[in-house]
Amino acid sequence: MMSFAQSLSDAHSSMRRGDMAAALTAAGAATRANPHSAEAWWVLGSAASNLDDMTTAQNAFGKAAKWAPEGSKLRGQMLALRCKPLMSEGRMADAVQCARDAMAARIDDVPSLVRVGYTLTHAGLTQEALAPAQEATRLDPNHAEAWYTLGGVQRSLGDVPGAEASFNNAIRLSPTPPVAAYFNLAYLRRWKAEDNHIPLLEALTCRTSLEACRVAYTLFKEHDDIGETAQAWDCLQVGAELGRKIEPWTSVEEAESIAAWKQYFPAERFGASDKRRRSGPKRIFIIGLPRSGTTLIERVLAAHSQVQAIGELKSFGIAVHKLAGIDNVRRLAPEVIAAAAKLDPLDIAEFYTRESAFLNDGSAYVIDKLPSNHEYAGLIKLAFPDAIVVALDRNPMDALFGCYKVLFTGAYGWSYGQDDLADHYHHFRDLMGYWKSVLGEQLIEVSLEAVIADPEAQIRRLIAACGLDFEEACLKPHEASGAVSTASAVQVRSPINSQGVNAWKRYEAPLAPLQARLRQMGYVE
């Protein structure tokens, strides 16, 4: 039997030569030989993380933290490492606790501070993420990833000049093609013919399809800003084709999911009233297509003194999938929906509440603004009978073009082709029509165009429908405090305006296939 020292040495050697499978095996042997070795658990976690085995990784980093000396910086480093695999598993509350415990251990190395900043930002705790992100750049002003992390925090907080400076620092210092920094920089403001990054972007050498995809979308944005629509469209086609290969999507699978919702959640499920008490604040769910005004309405409501926005949470879907207990299938496969129908909705509510409690600041109402929660609208009302569900509607050409021109990495596989956009819109309308038929007036419908045309009347109607007293601040959502991490982060800090209405018409000719499909389906005149 190999000794602990030899197993650990083999694990390190395998890591150095990039053989992660061998490193995992050797590190596993080392932890069995000495279960109290923080170093062995660290190597095991690192190998597992590289192999995308996040369950093993988070467990190993947790053990490494446990056996590191109490209060040591090593313990803090292991906790910081555990954050990412916990997030990958959907355990955001645990990831945040690890990040906070790492800070309590007084970590002072840049990689750990960057990991903590990244975790808190993605958890929606952007203000809390600012300190570790700033400290990382102070400790090492030449660390590109530290500047990139700080730029993301500043962007979410509305500090556009700060974010621009940070992303430029990340670009200047990056040892690899700074694709992500250029991508984020592009969306901070409108660029000009004499002030843009097009030549620099065109000169980049991409290492992966995802990098090439990001560069293409970034080029679209900057060409579009300076009015070069033909070049912009060509870049968008390159990016969309790459995105389609990276994130496959099929209309058939979505149709199967919708049929399952209708089958397993028939109208009679929504007749009886569930009087059991739900813990936590009153819930507001804002749903709809991405780019349909969901962030604007979130800001309108969050401007109210009793309402807190807690971001775009995946917690409800995670609760359903975890409690359904079906692994190795796509997120809303029919068998998952069938299993969800057998769950006690109260269990879903309590799971969701536990996972999101760390975000609540004590406000009476909290907003979850994940657009794709439209899939769960009926189940949300079963889980939270008193929940307020606000459904956004927007001219489909504007909404769908808005989705088409923005890269939503890992989120919306239907957004890369005009036929897919049309098919998804049909499925979206089909499912929303069904939820409306079973929920009736419990579904509060809001038209973005109506809000833009008559903000005060529509906002007053919305506030009243939510059971809240009107407050003047709701008419000035651009002045609302709080971070915004969506693609609208910069846009929603301007007063309500009509700049985005009919924006698709700048590309009317190349968008003719999408318009024709929607007209054929009866969705546009």
Closest residue by Cα to residue 471 from 480, 293, 443: 480
Whether residue 386 is contained in a domain is answered as yes
Let me know the angle formed at the C-alpha of 52 by 105 and 340, rounded to the nearest 5 degrees: 95
Give the count of domains, the chain: 2
Residue 365 dihedral angles phi and psi, to the nearest 5°: -125, 140
Structure pTM?
0.91
With 0-12 CB in 10 A as exposed, 13-18 as middle and 19+ as buried, what is 160? Answer: middle
- The pLDDT score that the predictor gives to residue 271 is 83
Q: What is the pLDDT of residue 168?
A: 97
For the record, the structure tokens of 125 come out as 């705790």
Instruction: Please name every residue paired with 388 in a beta bridge, in sequence order, or none if there are none.
Output: 284
Measure the CA dihedral 187/188/193/198, to 10°: -50
DSSP symbols for 89-123: TT-HHHHHHHHHHHHHTT---HHHHHHHHHHHHHT
Q: What pLDDT is recorded for position 410?
A: 80
> What pLDDT sits at residue 491?
57
φ/ψ of 70, rounded to 5, equals -55, 130
264 in the same domain as 222: no
Query: Is residue 96 included in any domain, yes or no?
Result: no
Q: What is the DSSP letter of 491?
A: G
Last residue of a domain, one of 246, 270, 302: 246
Please check whether residue 413 is in contact with residue 248, taking contact to mean a CB–CB distance below 8 angstroms: yes
- CATH number of the domain within which 494 lies: 3.40.50.300
Q: What are the distances in angstroms from CA 122 to CA 63, 99, 156?
A: 24, 12, 10
Residue 82's nearest CA partner among 54, 111, 43 is: 54
Q: Are residues 363 and 278 part of one domain?
A: yes
* In 54-197, alpha helices (H): 54-67, 73-88, 92-104, 110-122, 126-139, 144-156, 160-173, 179-186
Q: Are residues 345 and 319 in the same domain?
A: yes
Residue 315 CA to chain centroid, in angstroms? 11
Q: Which residues contact 108 (CB under 8 A, 6 or more apart)?
A: 73, 139
Give yes or no: residues 305 and 212 share one domain: no
Question: Do the domain assignments include residue 19?
Answer: no
How far is the CA of 477 from the CAs of 212, 300, 362, 452, 496, in angstroms? 36, 5, 21, 12, 8
State which residues form the domain around 181. 176-246
For residues 471 and 454, state if they share a domain: yes
Last residue of a domain, one of 221, 246, 271: 246
Same-domain check for residues 188 and 304? no
Cα–chain center distance at 237: 24
Per-residue pLDDT 10s for the chain (525 aa) are: 679 999 999 999 999 999 999 999 999 999 999 999 999 999 999 999 999 999 999 999 999 999 998 878 899 999 999 999 999 988 999 999 999 999 999 999 999 999 999 999 999 999 999 999 999 999 999 999 999 999 999 999 989 999 999 999 999 999 999 999 999 999 999 999 999 999 999 999 999 999 999 999 999 999 999 999 999 999 999 999 999 999 999 999 999 999 999 999 999 999 888 889 999 999 999 999 999 999 999 999 999 999 999 999 999 999 999 999 988 888 899 999 999 999 999 999 999 999 999 999 999 999 999 999 999 999 999 999 999 999 999 999 999 999 999 999 888 999 999 999 999 999 999 999 999 999 999 999 999 999 999 999 999 999 999 999 999 999 998 876 655 555 455 555 567 887 888 999 999 999 999 999 999 999 988
In Å, how far from its chain's centre is CA 117? 16
Same domain assignment for residues 218 and 262? no
- Domain-terminating residue out of 246, 266, 298: 246
User: Does residue 400 belong to any structural domain of this protein?
Assistant: yes
Q: State how far the Cα of 198 lies from the Cα of 204, in Å rounded to an integer.
A: 10
Shared domain check, 465 and 442: yes
Pairing outcome for strands 307-309 and 365-368: parallel
- Alpha carbon distance 362, 346 (integer Å): 22
The span from the CA of 436 to the CA of 442, in Å, is 8
Q: Please state, in angstroms and rounded to a whole number, the distance separating the CA atoms of residues 85 and 308.
A: 28
Q: Is residue 24 included in any domain, yes or no?
A: no
Dihedrals phi, psi of 385, to nearest 5 degrees = -55, -30
CA 300 to chain centre: 20
- Whether residue 209 sits in one domain with residue 256: no
Buried-state track 35-71, b at ≥16 Cβ within 10 A, e below 16: eebbbbbbbbbbbbbeeebbebbbbbbbbbbebbeee
DSSP 350-365: HHHHHHHGGG--S-SE
Q: Is residue 487 part of a domain?
A: yes
Residue 479 lies in a domain: yes
Residues 284 and 242 in one domain: no
Same domain, 338 and 212: no
Residue-level pLDDT at 500: 82
Q: Helix (H, G, I), strand (E, B), or coil: what is residue 412?
A: coil
Residue 76 belongs to some domain of the structure = no
Burial class (CB in 10 A: 0-12, 13-18, 19+), 523: middle
What are the phi and psi torsion angles at 466 (to 5°)?
A: -85, -5
- Same domain? 260 vs 201: no
